[in-house]
Amino acid sequence: MKKAAVIVLAFALSMIFAVVAPVMASKPEVIPCGFTASTIHDVTDGTFWWTGDGTILHVRGLTKQMAFTSGAIPNTINYGFATITTDYDFNTKTGEGTYVRTWEMTFVTPYYYYKSGNPPAGFPNPYGVGTLEGKEVGKATSIFYQINGGTSLSLADFTGKLVATHGSGDFEKAKLSADTLGYPFGPPNMPPVIVRINVGNTIYEPTGILTFYE
């Protein structure tokens, strides 16, 4: 009886390991990720109001369309786009604020952004093709009035954390986690005209984490 019990137990354990082994073997793929998002245009300036005797600014629904680019004109390569909506509160007296931002990202086959006809770059997107949606939270240290077909109370300098978990295409089962760094940008010796956001640093030195699950 004891011998039979041992045989049955050994068989049961072998069946368990046979089921568990494939699951344990399918580890998620993790790759470094980084890109720069640059303002294309304002979608909507949202709404704003002041409190604290005119020292605290509240902005809701500030929405911009941005492009994921690298390189210099005319060889700038576009990797995708994002529609980004920001809600923030900023104390102009202390120079500090907090924000919450929604990202709707679309990654595309890379192409030359400033060349006539936007010809293909000739290589695949290093992260994939599809969409990702996520949230970013962070702290701001400055704002500026952006004039681009209207007046926009934009965040200028800020740092945050972006996590994106809802996707399609190559990102259907993916998660992006990255630090963000925002800063105003414009021609030399001129006021800033756009905002740039480094997500996971840059494509050349990525620090973000993109995880693909089976």
pLDDT in tens, 53-66: 989 999 999 999 99
Give the domain range for residue 61.
31-212
Per-residue confidence at 12, pLDDT binned at 50, 70, 90?
Answer: very low
Residue 156 lies in a domain: yes
Residue 15 lies in a domain: no
Residue 125 lies in a domain: yes
Residue 194 lies in a domain: yes
Q: Are 190 and 147 in contact (CB under 8 A)?
A: no
* Amino acid 177: pLDDT: 98
Q: Residue 74: pLDDT above 90?
A: no
Q: Residue 168: pLDDT above 80?
A: yes
Domain count, the chain: 1
Beta carbons within 10 angstroms of residue 93's beta carbon: 11
Residue 19 lies in a domain: no
- Percent of the chain surpassing pLDDT 90: 67
Residue 24 lies in a domain: no
Residue 14 lies in a domain: no
Residue 207 lies in a domain: yes
* Amino acid 123: pLDDT: 95
Output 142 or 13, whichever has higher pLDDT: 142
Q: Are 58 and 50 in contact (CB under 8 A)?
A: yes
- Percent of the chain surpassing pLDDT 70: 81
Cα 124 to Cα 23, 128, 169, 185: the distances in Å are: 30, 8, 14, 28
Report whether the peptide linkage leading into residue 28 is cis, meaning its omega lies within 30 degrees of zero: no
Give the three-class secondary structure for 54.
coil
Stated pTM of the model = 0.82
Tokens of 91: 């104390």
Q: Are 62 and 85 in contact (CB under 8 A)?
A: yes
Q: Residue 18: pLDDT above 70?
A: no
